[in-house]
């Protein structure tokens, strides 16, 4: 298991899989080990995936200073990504973030644009740039009311909203069809069920504990000149295609791909489509 010491002494672990040029991948969750990314739809046949486990998850240790619980915030995960880049000896890198990891990747781009060759923001990152629409989430949820799983899933989602971070795994699993494209298959159920097994330190979910200054961040991202792919699922509720398009517009060289009939984990909905879109973007 490859490891490195981050800026504060926290031990970070990561996995390597595949062949070809390196692609550094930051998972979301927040607080979920990178195992759920799998091979990103077979992308590892064309790229060597460096799958980082954020501090407090998977192969990575908890923060070296137990009193520094804020080190699990998204902005404090950015130096961990920079420590990984330096550890790998890369002057610049292709960086991919998914969901909450896209949030981290966007913050990294703002702080270290000189160390990027390309940026891929997969179903996330819109909140940090103020591209989110609070009403869009509920609108997409309501659009799925004809699905056979809807009554139980929407009740679970409402309970999740009431309980916040203390939601039991069984409630999250019952609500999980909302986060996947059609149809709801045994493979997707297994992927959702693994969520509770891939979380270790509940403090790692402090990801969004401090919201950034979106105006300042948008200004910084306007200077990120590398190719940026903002990827969204057509039926994902966060980000919606419109939110993804607003995020892409922040970057000088940003573009959007909307995968048809895909949810929050688009590589599970159509691996070939996802893989081809990424290969067309990556240098």
> Domains of the chain: which residue ranges?
3-141+201-281
CA 9 from centroid of its chain's CA atoms: 24
Per-residue exposure over 34-60, b if at least 16 CB sit within 10 Å of its own CB, e if not: bbbbbbbbebbebbebbbbbbbbbbbb
Q: Are strands 48-52 and 93-98 parallel, antiparallel or unpaired?
A: unpaired
Per-residue exposure over 153-188, b if at least 16 CB sit within 10 Å of its own CB, e if not: bbebbeebeeeeeebeeebbbbbbbbbbbeebeeeb
- Per CATH, the number for 3-141+201-281 is 3.40.50.1820
The sign of the CA dihedral 18, 81, 236, 208 is positive
pLDDT score for 67: 94
**Dist. CA 123–CA 273, nearest whole Å:** 15
Residue 150 burial (CB < 10 Å; 0-12/13-18/19+)? middle
Cβ-contact 58, 81 below 8 angstroms:
no
pLDDT block averages, 10 residues each, the chain of length 283: 95 98 96 97 98 97 95 96 98 98 96 98 89 85 95 95 85 96 95 95 80 85 97 96 95 98 98 98 96
Cβ-contact 242, 132 below 8 angstroms:
no
- Alpha carbon of 136 to those of 162, 206, 238, 258: distances in Å? 19, 24, 8, 16
pLDDT score for 132: 77
DSSP SS3 for 24: strand
């Amino acid at each position: 298991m490859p490891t490195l010491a981050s800026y504060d002494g926290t031990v970070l672990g990561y996995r390597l899989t595949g062949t070809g040029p390196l692609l550094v991948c930051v998972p979301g969750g927040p607080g979920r080990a990178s195992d759920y990314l799998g091979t990103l739809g077979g992308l590892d046949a064309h790229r060597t995936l460096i799958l980082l486990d954020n501090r407090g998850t998977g192969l990575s240790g908890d923060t070296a200073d137990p009193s520094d619980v804020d080190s699990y915030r998204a902005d404090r995960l950015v130096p961990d990504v920079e420590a990984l880049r330096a550890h790998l000896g890369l002057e610049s890198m292709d960086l991919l973030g998914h969901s909450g990891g896209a949030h981290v990747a966007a913050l990294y781009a703002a702080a270290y644009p000189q160390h990027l060759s390309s940026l891929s923001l997969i179903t996330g990152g819109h909140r940090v740039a103020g591209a989110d629409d609070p009403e869009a989430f509920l609108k997409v949820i309501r659009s799925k009311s004809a699905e056979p799983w809807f009554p139980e899933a929407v009740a679970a989602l409402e309970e999740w909203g009431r309980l916040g971070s203390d939601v039991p795994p069984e409630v999250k699993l019952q609500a999980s069809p909302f986060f996947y494209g059609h149809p709801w298959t045994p493979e997707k159920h297994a992927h959702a069920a693994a969520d509770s097994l891939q979380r270790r330190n509940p403090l790692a979910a402090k990801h969004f504990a401090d919201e950034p200054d979106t105006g300042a961040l948008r200004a910084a991202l306007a200077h990120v000149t590398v190719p940026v792919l903002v990827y969204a699922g057509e039926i994902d509720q966060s980000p919606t295609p419109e939110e993804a398009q607003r995020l892409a517009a922040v970057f000088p060289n940003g573009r959007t791909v909307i995968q048809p009939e895909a949810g929050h984990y688009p590589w599970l909905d159509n691996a070939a489509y996802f893989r081809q879109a990424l290969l067309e973007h990556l240098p």
